[in-house]
Structure 1
Amino acid sequence: MTAVLRRLRSRRATPEAETEAAAATVLQLAVLLQAGVAPARAWEHLAGVGDSAAARVVTATAHDMPLPAAIAAVGSDAWREVAVAYQVASTVGAPLAACLRGLATALSDAQEAADDVRVALAEPAGTARLMGWLPLLAVALGAALGFDTFGTLFGSPLGIACLAAGGILIVVAQRWTARLVRSASDAAGVPGLEAELVAIALSGGVSIDRALAVVADAGALRTPGRQNAAPAPHDDVASVLSLSRSAGVPAVELLRACAAHARHRARVDGRLRAAKLSSRLLVPLGVCTLPAFLLLGVAPMLLGVMSTMSLSL
Structure 2
Amino acid sequence: MSALLAGLWTLLVVAAVWQWSVRRGRQRAAWHSWLGERVETNVPTPEVSASLIIAEVIARLNAGASVESAWQAALEDAGIQFEGPVIDHEGVPTAVTDNRLRASSSISAACKLTHQIGAPLAEILESVLDTIDEVDAADRARVVASAGPQMTARLLTVLPLVGVIASIALGVDVLGLWMSGGAATFAAIIGVILWITGHEWSRRMIKKTMEDSNTRVDPVVMMDLLVASLRSGASIPHSLTALGKACGEPQFERCGTLLRVGAPFSALETEIDDPLHLNLVRALRPAWTFGASPTPLLGLMGKRIRAARGTRAQEEAERLAVRLVIPLGLCLLPAFVAIAVVPIISTISLPGF
TM-score range, shorter chain: 0.7 to 0.9
Q: Determine which of 290, 293, 302 is the counterpart of 2:345.
A: 302
Following TM superposition, by how much is the alpha carbon of 1:111 offset from its aligned partner in structure 2, in angstroms?
Answer: 1.5
**2:41–2:98 Cα contact (<8 Å) kept:** no
Q: CA deviation at 1:197?
A: 1.6
- Asked whether the equivalents of residues 46 and 54 of structure 1 are also in contact (C-alpha less than 8 Å), the reply is no
Query: Corresponding residue for 1:283?
Result: 326
1:235: Cα distance to partner?
A: 0.6
Greater share of helix: 1
Amino acid of the residue matched to residue 27 of structure 1?
A
Partner residue, 1:121: 146
Q: Aligned pair 1:137/2:158, yes or no? A: no
Mapped contact 1:129–1:177 kept (Cα < 8 A): no
Q: Deviations over 1:284-303 (max 9, x none)?
A: 22222222222222221222
- What SS is found at the alignment partner of 2:326? helix
State whether residues 209 and 320 of structure 2, in contact with CA within 8 Å, keep that contact through their aligned partners in structure 1.
yes
Q: Any residues of structure 2 matched to 1:14-163 within 5 Å, and which?
A: 15-17=43-45, 20-34=48-62, 37-40=63-66, 43-44=68-69, 47=72, 50-51=76-77, 69-71=90-92, 73=94, 75-76=97-98, 78=104, 79-88=107-116, 91=118, 93=119, 97-163=122-188
- CA positional deviation for 1:277: 2.3
1:255 lines up with 2:282 in the alignment: no
Change (3 A) 1:277 1:205: same
Check 1:19–1:264 CA distance in 2 against 1; reply closer, same or farther (3 A cut): farther
Q: TM-score, normalised by structure 2?
A: 0.66
Is the 2:198–2:327 Cα contact (8 Å) retained in structure 1?
A: yes
Report the Cα offset of residue 56 of structure 1: 7.8
Q: Secondary structure at the match of 1:156?
A: coil
1:184 corresponds to which letter in structure 2?
T
1:189 corresponds to:
216
TM-score, length-scaled by structure 1: 0.73
Q: Is the 8 A contact 1:184 1:270 kept in 2?
A: no
Tell me which structure has the larger Cα radius of gyration: 1
- Retained in 2: the 8 A contact 1:110–1:190? no
Of residues 187, 202, 209, the one that matches 2:237 is 209
The answer on whether the counterparts of 2:172 and 2:347 sit within 8 Å (CA) in structure 1 is yes
8 Å Cα contact 2:190/2:335 also seen in 1 = yes
Q: How far apart are 1:123 and its partner, in Å?
A: 1.1
Deviates more, 1:45-54 or 1:192-201: 45-54
Work out the CA distance in 2 between the residues paired with 1:165 and 1:159.
10
CA separation of 1:13 and 1:22: change in aligned 2, threshold 3 A: farther
Letter in 1 for 2:113: A
Measured after TM superposition, the shift of residue 130 of structure 1 is: 1.1
Amino acid at match of 2:218: P
Give the structure 2 partner of residue 174 of structure 1: 199
Q: Is the 8 A contact 2:156 2:332 kept in 1?
A: yes
Q: Deviations over 1:229-287 (max 9, x none)?
A: 55367212112212555786422343244345435545533321211222332232222
Q: CA deviation at 1:194?
A: 2.1
Which residue number in structure 2 is paired with residue 237 of structure 1?
Answer: 280
Bigger mean CA offset, 74-83 vs 271-280 = 74-83
1:146–1:29 distance in 2 versus 1, CA, 3 Å: closer
Partner of 1:147, secondary structure, is coil
Give the direction of change, closer, same or farther, for the CA distance of 1:22–1:282 in structure 2 (3 Å limit).
closer
Shift in CA distance, 76/197, structure 1 to aligned 2, threshold 3 Å: farther
SS in 2 for 1:16: coil
Secondary structure at the counterpart of residue 205 of structure 1: coil
**Cα pair 1:170 1:292 within 8 Å, conserved:** yes
For the residues of structure 2 that align with 1:244 and 1:76, how far apart are their CA atoms?
Answer: 37
Partner of 1:269: 312
- Distance of 1:73 and 1:47 partners within structure 2: 10
Identify unmatched segments of 5+ residues in structure 2: 1-37, 257-270
- Identity across the alignment (%): 21
Cα distance in 2 between the residues matched to 1:44 and 1:273 = 38
- Distance in 2 between residues matched to 1:81 and 1:116, nearest whole Å: 23
Residue 228 of structure 2 corresponds to 200
Deviation at 1:195, TM superposition (A): 1.4
* Counterpart residue identity of residue 231, structure 2: S
